[in-house]
Each structure stands twice: as structure tokens, then as C-alpha cells.
């Protein structure tokens, strides 16, 4: 979902959410897990190469530590109190992932211009690694800025991605492997990113429904904030594509917002730009 800032006004606007073409949804069971709940070593490793996109105004550097704005999602979004992660903070407006030591990929609608890129901070480690501990700070060394927007494209029914060169090589986080071939229907998928701006969530149990020329469609459990997330082949760990759009996230119910839910084989599905669309721009 396109979010230029995380503010109460935007989050309480039903019209904005309803009309946002890149919204997302839950299919079947909610498969989202915090990092401390993830048991698969491969998924833990992959998550360390994903990044949260934040505004400079939501970060405050104090020497070796950078503090992250603490805006609980429940109040910001007007969620029903029994919604998962109700008390967790929402600080990311999009997600991304590392593809080279100094290069990352996200959705094109997340970063559409050099100006937007310059006004974005790329934050590694925005996660809940321990139960009960709020994700409100990271080492300052985990925060990167944009040097150059290499390429950005946004087509509402097709490809949607951006390639960003960071201000310096990333340390302690490895570039991800990209799938050499396009996934086929039935391929198992896992998405890692920041649904509704939350700390990192790993969500598996999905599969490819169909494959088109520039994107695939899958039943991934995703929300706004997941835009730009890496979508992985669950078996190999290779990146199959970039999460870009889908169903609406939330619906109103008795005066509060609740996650929109579909059957595993229902609704339109979530669109994932194929990683093959990105590869030519990584060779520049």
C-alpha cells in the first residue's frame, strides 16, 4: 500500500484505504510470525537481509543508537482490540531487501523519484527478536540513506519496482539470492516484510496461483507496508519477486477495523512483480 507517511489522518481515512490499489489481505489462517517465533534457520537468515523503509522524522539518532517512533498500530489504525499485534509499533511505510552489498530493491510506488529516495531511511533490524520487548531502537549502523535511485517503475496492472544504491555497503547482512527461473503455479511462497508498518513479520503457507508476463498472483498474507517485500520460494529461499498490490487490508466491523479475510483460494490474490523484471537493472 502506498503510504507517504504514517499519520492518524491517513490511517483513519476509509476512502483512502478502499481506493488504494496496492492494499493487501489475509488468506485462510493468519500466518504472520514475529522473529522470535520463527524456527526455520533459513527464514531467520533471509529475514536479516530485509529492510524497513522509514521517514527521517520517525528516527532519532543518539550516538550508537537510533530510536524509532513508537506509534502503536491499534490506536493509529483504529483496530479492534483483539487484532493481532494490536500494541506493536507501526513505523515503516514500505519494505525492501538487499540484492548487492550496496543495492536494495523495493516497490516502485514506495520510491518513485530521487527526491523520495533521499527522504527515505533504510533500516535493518526493525524486529521483535524477544517476546515482550518493543522494537523501538536499532544500532545507528543499521540505518542507511539513498545515494542514487537507479530505476523506478510503477504500472498499476504490471511491473512495480525500484532499485536503490545505498550510501555505503551494508555490513552484517548478506545480499539475497534471486531465483534463476520464474515460479510455476503451486510453488510454495513465503513473504518477509513489514505489514502495516509493523516490525518484521515472516508469513508462509502461501503458493503461486497463476503467472503472467510481469507478475505472479499468490495467496500471501500481506498488508500495506508489505509493499516492496521480498517474496521467497519457500523450498529454495530464492527471491521470486516483490510484493506490490492486492486486496484491501481492513474492513469496518462494529466501529473498529478488522483484518480483511479471504478463503485460501478466494478473492483476487496478491500481485508479485517477477524478479526477472529487476535483474537487468542490477547489472548497471
List the domain boundaries for the chain.
1-284
As a dihedral over the C-alpha atoms of residue 135, residue 89, residue 131, residue 79, rounded to 10 degrees, the angle is -170
| Mean pLDDT on 81-97 | 96
- At residue 24 the predicted structure's pLDDT band, cuts being 50, 70 and 90, is low
Q: Which pLDDT value is given to residue 29?
A: 80
If one counts every other C-beta atom within 10 angstroms of the C-beta of residue 64, the result is 8
CA 53 centroid distance within chain? 9
Q: Which pLDDT value is given to residue 124?
A: 99
**β-strands 32-34, 121-123: how paired?**
unpaired
pTM over 0.85: yes
The Cα 268–Cα 86 span in angstroms is 26
- For the cut 70, the answer to whether the pLDDT of residue 16 exceeds it is no
| Mean pLDDT on 61-89 | 94
- Please give the grid coordinates belonging to residue 82: 483483539
The number of residues making up the chain comes to 284
Arch. (CATH architecture) of 1-284 = Beta Barrel (2.40)
| Mean pLDDT on 183-205 | 97
Ramachandran class of 48: left when φ > 0, alpha when ψ lies in -120 to 50, beta otherwise: alpha
The Cα 38–Cα 233 span in angstroms is 17
Q: Which pLDDT value is given to residue 73?
A: 94
In b/e form, how buried is each residue of 212-234, taking b as 16+ CB within 10 angstroms?
A: eebbbbbbbbbbbbbbbbbbbbb
| Mean pLDDT on 187-192 | 98
| Poorest-pLDDT segment among 15-29, 43-57, 133-147 | 15-29
pLDDT, tens digit (0-9, with 9 covering 90-100), for 112-153? 999 999 999 999 999 999 988 999 999 999 999 999 999 999
CA 50 centroid distance within chain? 9
- For the cut 60, the answer to whether the pLDDT of residue 8 exceeds it is no
| Mean pLDDT on 225-251 | 94
| Mean pLDDT on 260-275 | 88
- Please give the grid coordinates belonging to residue 151: 530505476
pLDDT mean across residues, the chain: 90
Percentage of the chain surpassing pLDDT 70?
Answer: 91
- Please give the grid coordinates belonging to residue 63: 550516538
- Please give the grid coordinates belonging to residue 267: 478473492
- For the cut 90, the answer to whether the pLDDT of residue 40 exceeds it is yes
The Cα 145–Cα 192 span in angstroms is 21
Amino acid at each position: 500500500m502506498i503510504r507517504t507517511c504514517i499519520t492518524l489522518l491517513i490511517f483513519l481515512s476509509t476512502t483512502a484505504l478502499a481506493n488504494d490499489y496496492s492494499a493487501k489481505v489475509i488468506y485462510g489462517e493468519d500466518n504472520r510470525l514475529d522473529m522470535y517465533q520463527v524456527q526455520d534457520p533459513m527464514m531467520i537468515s533471509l529475514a536479516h537481509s530485509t529492510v524497513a523503509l522509514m521517514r527521517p522524522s520517525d528516527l532519532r539518532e543518539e550516538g550508537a543508537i537510533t530510536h524509532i517512533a513508537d506509534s502503536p498500530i491499534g490506536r493509529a489504525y483504529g483496530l479492534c482490540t483483539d487484532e493481532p499485534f494490536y500494541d506493536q509499533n507501526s513505523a515503516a511505510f514500505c519494505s525492501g531487501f538487499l540484492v548487492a552489498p550496496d543495492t536494495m530493491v523495493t516497490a516502485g510506488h514506495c520510491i518513485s523519484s530521487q527526491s523520495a529516495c533521499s527522504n527515505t531511511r533504510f533500516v535493518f533490524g526493525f524486529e521483535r527478536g524477544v517476546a515482550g520487548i518493543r522494537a523501538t531502537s536499532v544500532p545507528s549502523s543499521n540505518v542507511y540513506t539513498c545515494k542514487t535511485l537507479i530505476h523506478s517503475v510503477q504500472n498499476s496492472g504490471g511491473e512495480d519496482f525500484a532499485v536503490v544504491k545505498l550510501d555505503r555497503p551494508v555490513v552484517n547482512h548478506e545480499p539475497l539470492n534471486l531465483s534463476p527461473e520464474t515460479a510455476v503455479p503451486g510453488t510454495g511462497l513465503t513473504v518477509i516484510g513489514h505489514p502495516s508498518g509493523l516490525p518484521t513479520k515472516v508469513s508462509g503457507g502461501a503458493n503461486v496461483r497463476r503467472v503472467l508476463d510481469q507478475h505472479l498472483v499468490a495467496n500471501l498474507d500481506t498488508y500495506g507496508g508489505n509493499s516492496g517485500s521480498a517474496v521467497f520460494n519457500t523450498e529454495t529461499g530464492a527471491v521470486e519477486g516483490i510484493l506490490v498490490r492486492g486486496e484491501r487490508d481492513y474492513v469496518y466491523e462494529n466501529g473498529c477495523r478488522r483484518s480483511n479475510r479471504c478463503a485460501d483460494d478466494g478473492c483476487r490474490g496478491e500481485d508479485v512483480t517477477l524478479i526477472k523484471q529487476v535483474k537487468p537493472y542490477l547489472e548497471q
